[in-house]
Chain A
């Protein structure tokens, strides 16, 4: 089954009087468990593609399906619920909640999907990601790498089938980025979880099965 499919998806923005086609009749297929990296110049529409996939934005034309569900045809609450239960999101700036501990930040994803929280599950995942010792700390007390690992834990804890990652190593130094990429790759493989990652980093793209480049609103396989 296809994890994510874009069918002739067009997204345009008006810039002044002219229309800019960010995505133009774009086609994309991500199989279950498949990891795809999307690269491209700044402003090429990578993030837009990711937001469309997450159901946080809607296409002007075309159809987006996640595990057979036409996300673009759901209403807002349904999309939110769908996103919460089937997808995990990883951001460049981690987007952790300052007032919550690492544990609570991870737990948040379960709470939002109305799942019972199993402390052992969280601890196990944290152990897997190497952040068990810092679970009771707040984001301000964590390093960038630790924060991103917490964010990855948050994206995985509710067992999504699709991870959407937006420059997950963009704010990290090379060594830390490599560590984070490593645990991310490991975790995804273990769970047979598909991922669409938007990145500029070749190293990040390297953990993916396939690399596509977004150019003039369309995807082309990387040379």
Chain B
């Protein structure tokens, strides 16, 4: 019987059913999408080696980034040496997506059969070392590219485009995602990267052997350690994504609430009748709960499907920045698990139960027989709301102040936002009443005043819309503010006129030129050079990075000091170093603190003189004097040299001179403007995901608004019909409803602005430093997000109102006049 009541109702209200399902599915979809995306980032295991070689893979890398082929050859013939697999990794572009060529020696790698390639097949038998260069690709990657095994892949590496046939398609596992396996000989010959290897792999070797034979500049890691460090790289990004998805879930729950609410409104009469006929309250509870659960269960399934699809779309957005920022390749598609699906699905059911509670309470209040018209709950007064809202806000603020962790900061942000959301309806309707009284006689004023009676219906939608708008604007402000900060930083940092480094592509075919004192001397001896600076970067075994600088007078304004005293004399004397903000935060070092670094000459202690702003690495960098560095590390090479020209020296002429006279085609250069552009491009790609999520949250909020307006229309049907009967024309009614919708959106916007500002401040000053180690200087928030969010939101709000408005205007006037 109960099922029949439910069935009849939904059958008559198919539109509402679909809306309810859409709301639930949308919320679940976003949560699923982000959860899967997180997983894909987490599993972006740089573990091709462990699959090719085995779970116990040990990887050897150089602290300077590259292992020389000579070192490999020496290690390989050492007594007791394991089977070293030389690996060359080359970042490439395929179809505009970031891929990686993993070039190995199939002979060594293929000695053992590899699970990656399928049972019983070895790499040696898969790659044709005799034939022309070709690739081994995993099935999933090939499918993701939309190619067949017969197709050729167009692979671009540093501007060089090569078409490569596919030697074999293997089942592979996820570590083969976006990776192309290749013979190292063919890869070197094609892409001209002789002399250097990315790393060496081996299946098993004792740590004693490594300690005895590994040259000091090579470090080793087990695959488990590598996975851990890979996971920690993206920790900040993942935490931010999680926060976003939780906010999306919160917005989604508002939708579920509105939708269920809407269903109850429509059936208040039925419920009264059922109660009058003797249905006990528990029966009503059962009816409502089972309907909520059924909707959540069904909508949740659809949400899981959409979310899985969504995750892959989001993944396409993040693949590039993750690769650029962290040198990692995410999976080609998300990797869902039954556990994850079940968890999210149950989360949906839980949310449905949670939001049903207040609705069931309301349904209980419907008296049997419904002889007296019940008033919907009035909601909190402004004072009450302030009281209730202040509590979580204070708790959140305390959490932010007392704890330094990222999770705590996100929780604090969440609490503060919840507090604000709790105040939202009271504040909003207060504002509405005030506005209504400002223009009491006009259609506008009337329309807004009329909204007051539907307060309890509209409040959740208003809160959802406000939250979503605040989220979108706050994120946008943070991103744009950060972009400005980054732009400023790059602009300030790059004081030289041009930066010169060795052309790696040319190096392949010509004897290597190195940026040592001699080369720099020749560059500096060119006419028109006023000064030069240089930088050499080195990664220490523990992951810290050193940047060794030679800095002329002109370069010093490039630093923006955050803390401490930048004592130039001490720095140049090798007595002190500077560290970046993320370094200071990650390593918990303050000015006058002492850090230790391992050098070939033993452990060296260095005093930290000052902390400077830097966005180049969220791991942090130690800046030390170049002379000191070369002395300790016996490394005369520089990665790049900055040239400061004399004021009257035109750059292009100088560069022509350099290339013609000094090092024909062996050096490459880049101007500060180009660096700046590249940095901003990377930045923009990095934050595409945030835009996408903000958009999704906005969409969900729109669904919430539409359903709330529909509920409003249904509940107020009699009121609207009365107005029509009293002489309000259909157009007038339409106008009235649109004013209400637009007014609600504007109201949400008005409330969202302070919330967005607060979010911007919290994200910039609290979340960013904790997630990435760097802060963004507080400045006037960029107003661009407001400028285009306001019209966009109003337009969207109006659109969301059109359907409910049309429904109301077209609904039968006479029937609606009667009490329901």
Contact = CB atoms under 8 A, between A and B. Distances in A.
Interface of A: 47, 51, 54, 56-57, 76-77, 80-81, 83-85, 89, 91, 93, 95-100, 104, 108-109, 111-113, 117, 140, 154
Contacts of B728: 80, 84, 112
Contact of B814 (A56, A100, A112): A56
A114 B441 CA distance: 10
Given A80-B730, A99-B453, A117-B441, A56 B725 contact: yes
Contacts of A100: 449-450
Contacts of A89: 725-726
Contacts of B726: 84, 89, 108-109, 112, 154
Interface of B: 375, 441, 446, 449-453, 718-719, 721-732, 813-814, 817-819
B52 to A, nearest CB: 71
Contacts of B718: 95
B450 A84 contact: no
A51 B441 CA distance: 29
Contacts of B453: 97-99
Contacts of B441: 111, 117
| Chain A CB within 10 Å, residue with most, of B441, B719, B727, B729 | B727
Given A97-B719, A113-B727, 13 more contacts: A47-B814, A56-B724, A56-B814, A80-B730, A81-B727, A81-B729, A85-B727, A91-B722, A91-B817, A98-B719, A99-B449, A112-B728, A154-B726
A83 B449 CA distance: 24
A93 B725 contact: no
Contacts of B724: 56, 80
A56 B446 CA distance: 23
Nearest to B721: A95
Nearest to A51: B814
Contacts of A77: 729-731
Nearest to A78: B729
A99 B450 contact: yes
The 5 lowest CB-CB distance pairs between A and B, nearest first, are A84-B727, A99-B453, A95-B722, A93-B819, A112-B727
17 contacts: A56-B813, A57-B814, A76-B730, A85-B727, A91-B817, A95-B817, A96-B722, A97-B723, A98-B375, A99-B449, A100-B449, A100-B450, A108-B723, A111-B441, A112-B723, A112-B728, A154-B726
Nearest to B440: A104
Contacts of A98: 375, 453, 719
A86 to B, nearest CB: 10
Nearest to A88: B726
Contacts of B818: 93
Chain B interface mostly: helix
Residue among A85, A99, A100, A104 with the highest chain B CB neighbour number at 10 A:
A99
Contacts of B446: 108, 111
A80 B727 contact: yes
Q: Which of A97, A100, A113, A140 has the most chain B CB within a 10 Å cutoff?
A: A97
Contacts of A111: 441, 446
A14 to B, nearest CB: 15
A54 B722 CA distance: 13
Nearest to A77: B729
A113 to B, nearest CB: 6
A111 B446 CA distance: 10
Contacts of B725: 54, 56, 83, 89, 91, 95
Given A57-B814, A91-B817, A95-B722, A109 B727 contact: yes
A201 B729 CA distance: 33
Contacts of A54: 725
A3 B210 CA distance: 110
B648 to A, nearest CB: 77
Nearest to B727: A84
Contacts of A117: 441
B450 A80 contact: no
Nearest to A154: B726
Contacts of A84: 726-728
Contacts of B813: 56
B33 to A, nearest CB: 40
Contacts of B722: 91, 95-97
A154 B726 CA distance: 9
A10 to B, nearest CB: 18
A83 B727 contact: yes
A140 B452 CA distance: 14
Contacts of A112: 723, 726-728, 732
Contacts of A76: 729-730
Contacts of A56: 724-725, 813-814
Nearest to B451: A99
A97 B716 CA distance: 9
Contacts of B451: 99
Contacts of B375: 98, 140
A59 to B, nearest CB: 14
A97 to B, nearest CB: 6
A34 B441 CA distance: 34
B525 to A, nearest CB: 85
Interface centre among A51, A80, A84, A113 (most CB of B within 10 A): A80
A51 B719 CA distance: 17
Nearest to B725: A89
Nearest to B813: A56
Nearest to B730: A76
A98 B457 CA distance: 14
Nearest to A97: B719
A93 B371 CA distance: 12
B805 to A, nearest CB: 16
Contacts of A97: 450, 453, 719, 722-723
